Structure formats: C-alpha cells, structure tokens
Amino acid sequence: RFYRSLGRMLFDAAEPEERYRVFERFYRLREPLIERFYAGNSSTADKLRILSGKPPVSVLAAIRALLGKGSPLVHERSQ
C-alpha cells in the first residue's frame, strides 16, 4: 500500500516536467534505505524518512492525489 501511495503521489501530484525532483530527492537518501525500498522491505523509520523533509510536490497536491481516483492509465483521444 505504501509503495502504491508513493506512485500515486508521483504521477498525480507532480507535473510531468517536475517529476525528476522527486527522484533527485529520493536518490540523495542513504544507500541502505534505497536498497530496502527496492527490495520491498522498508521499515517504518524508512517510510518516515522518505516522507519527511521538504516535499518535492505541494502537500495539498499530494493529499488530493491520495484521496482522488487517480489518473487513467490510457487517455482516450477526442474525436
């Protein structure tokens, strides 16, 4: 659930041209934390560390992303 929530915040709260900021911040974290993240073994302390600090997206946008339905995987073309 935590990892899906992060993905939702990334894709629904951050503008496409600004998403790199999320990754820049993430990859400045300590390597063992990143390793546990990719292994799916993040501790509660890891999760708090990932979410703490100055957010790369607005808090309001992140909350809206978490409470919303989410973006469609495929956008329909208008005819």
Per-residue pLDDT of the chain in tens (79 residues, 90 and over written 9): 888 888 888 778 788 888 888 888 889 999 999 999 999 999 999 999 988 877 777 778 777 877 876 555 555 666 6
Count other Cβ atoms within 10 Å, centred on residue 34. Answer: 16
Question: Cβ neighbours of residue 73 under 8 Å, at least 6 residues apart?
Answer: none
Residue 34 in any domain: the answer is yes
Residue 44 in any domain: the answer is yes
Residue 57 in any domain: the answer is yes
Please give the Cα distance from 54 to 42 (Å, whole number): 20
**Domain tally, the chain:** 1
- Domain, as residue range, for 25: 2-67
Residue 51 in any domain: the answer is yes
- What would the two tokens of residue 76 be? 């329909």
